[in-house]
Amino acid sequence: MFDALTRQPDDPLLALIGLYRKDERPGKVDLGVGVYRDETGHTPIFRAVKEAEKRLHETQDSKAYVGPEGDLVFVDRLWTLVGGDTINRSHLAGVQTPGGSGALRLAADLIRQMGGKRIWIGLPSWMNHASIFKAAGLETAGYPFFDVPSQTVLFDTMMSALQGASAGDAVLLHAGCHNPTGGVISEAQWLEIAAVVAERGLLPLVDLAYQGFGRGLEEDVVGLRHLIGIVPETLIAVSCSKSFGLYRERTGAIFAVTTSSSSADTVRSNLAGLARTSYSMPPDHGAAIVRTILSDADLARDWKEELETMRLRISGIRQSLAEGLRDRWQALGAIAAQEGMFSLLPLAEADVMRLRNEHGIYMPGSGRINIAGLKTAEVGDVIDKLKN
Ligand code: PLP
Ligand code: TYF
């Protein structure tokens, strides 16, 4: 019966990990998969995470089931970070999920369960977005988001596309640190988006996977907070993978901002039911770490400091890259003002392969680079190789 199956393509980003590992050249550079790297090329465990793990090791006295909604103290503390006090918490339904990906899938399942059929996704977007939504049975439609040659956000075109969306359609928005473009939506533009979404009766699904890596922890959710203040109902998929460095611990949450406490209760029970029939319950460890950090002022302060160091390192590399590349490609000066880990270079796939084969510089065929993959000392050399 397995004959009925056909081989599926590998995820090109995850496949790069193996290709890079096999390359034995000493000067190789990994600009592929989106994980933070420090000056030595290492993806560190946050100091606060290590300390929280130590405390959990000493105090945790059971591994009994938690439940499909996961750790609700984690969920509550995480919301404070994301939403602050923008909304009445009794109108909020939040459930812990296996990473941001689990949150996106649960959101898609919920949209299907409430009769939604279509979701609008910016072009380009993180590859898994369309796959996750399609796997849940949603139809996907694209709105133009970013022009690579000019490195600009196509805001007007995006707004016209959203004007053409039908009531009840969902719209995926990146809260910030756009993957794969780094393209920034200004505060004023968020207000315009919120107005159109509310007027057309659309349901926004906001993907928040890089809080703290753009302009700062609070700054990175300003747009999102405007949106939830204006639009009556919103879904927010949060990933703790980058912001807490918990990638493999699969830590995240899905939040639904609703219009009443009874609506929130109903949404929560649907999310829990969908979790139960999919993976039953989320893994506990990562959420317990985040709960421990966010419940302790000293740990929280230390976590914020370390996150800020990471943000500043990325921002510094952005400035140097933009400076070095703008005399060859004027538009690439925009890299300095873009946010988060990624920028999308105007390279043809053949250029990407040449950089990989001749120079050991690894990036996916799209030309997306993980800025955090660069060490300060190698920026000049990579700039030279990009230019030739
Ligand atoms: N959303 C975006 C835009 C991402 O880049 C990622 C990447 O990892 C995720 C969601 C999901 O993250 P995870 O499932 O690892 O928490
Ligand atoms: O875009 C990235 O590189 C990150 C990590 O299937 C990632 O979001 C990439 C591919 C994937 C899961 C995570």
User: pLDDT for 113-158, tens place per residue?
Assistant: 999 999 999 999 999 999 999 999 999 999 999 999 999 999 999 9
What is the mean pLDDT of the segment spanning 161-178?
A: 97
Of all protein residues, the one whose alpha carbon is nearest to atom 10 of ligand 1 is 100
Q: Where does 6-45+299-387 sit in CATH, by number?
A: 3.90.1150.10
| Protein fold of 54-296 | Aspartate Aminotransferase; domain 2 (3.40.640)
Centre of ligand 1 to C-alpha 331, Å, is 27
68 preceded by a cis bond (ω within 30 of 0): no
Q: 209 CB under 6 A from ligand 1?
A: yes
- Give me the percent of the chain exceeding a pLDDT of 70: 100
In the prediction, which pLDDT does 53 show? 98
> Whole-angstrom Cα distance, residue 129 to residue 206?
12
pLDDT higher than threshold 90 for residue 215: yes
CA-atom Rg of the chain in angstroms? 21
In the prediction, which pLDDT does 10 show? 86
Q: Domain limits of the chain?
A: 6-45+299-387, 54-296
Segment holding 95, helix H or strand E: strand 92-97
Which of 121, 126, 210, 246 to probe ligand 1 with, by most ligand atoms within 8 A of CB?
Answer: 126
**ipTM surpassing 0.85, yes or no?**
yes
Q: Confirm if 168 and 115 have CB atoms less than 8 A apart.
A: yes
In the prediction, which pLDDT does 388 show? 78
| Residue 240 CA, closest ligand 1 atom number | 16
pLDDT higher than threshold 90 for residue 14: no
Which ligand approaches the C-alpha of residue 248 most closely? 1
In this predicted model, what pLDDT tens digit does every residue of 291-314 receive, in sequence order? 999 999 999 999 999 999 999 999
Which ligand approaches the C-alpha of residue 366 most closely? 2
In the prediction, which pLDDT does 12 show? 85
Of all protein residues, the one whose alpha carbon is nearest to atom 1 of ligand 2 is 34
Q: 99 CB under 6 A from ligand 1?
A: yes
Name the pTM for this structure: 0.97
In this predicted model, what pLDDT tens digit does every residue of 52-72 receive, in sequence order? 999 999 999 999 999 999 999
- Average pLDDT for the chain: 97
SS3 content of the chain, % helix, strand, coil (to 5): 50, 15, 35
Q: Confirm if 154 and 145 have CB atoms less than 8 A apart.
A: yes
In the prediction, which pLDDT does 282 show? 98
In the prediction, which pLDDT does 132 show? 98
In the prediction, which pLDDT does 387 show? 87
What is the mean pLDDT of the segment spanning 315-332?
A: 94
> Whole-angstrom Cα distance, residue 328 to residue 332?
8
What is the mean pLDDT of the segment spanning 212-233?
A: 98
124 preceded by a cis bond (ω within 30 of 0): yes
In the prediction, which pLDDT does 61 show? 95
Q: Which of 215, 251, 207 is nearest to 52 (CA)?
A: 251
What is the mean pLDDT of the segment spanning 215-228?
A: 98
What is the mean pLDDT of the segment spanning 161-172?
A: 97
At 375, the pLDDT band (50, 70, 90 cuts) reads very high
What is the mean pLDDT of the segment spanning 199-207?
A: 98
In the prediction, which pLDDT does 201 show? 97
What is the mean pLDDT of the segment spanning 369-375?
A: 96
Residue positions annotated with a catalytic role? 126, 207, 209, 242
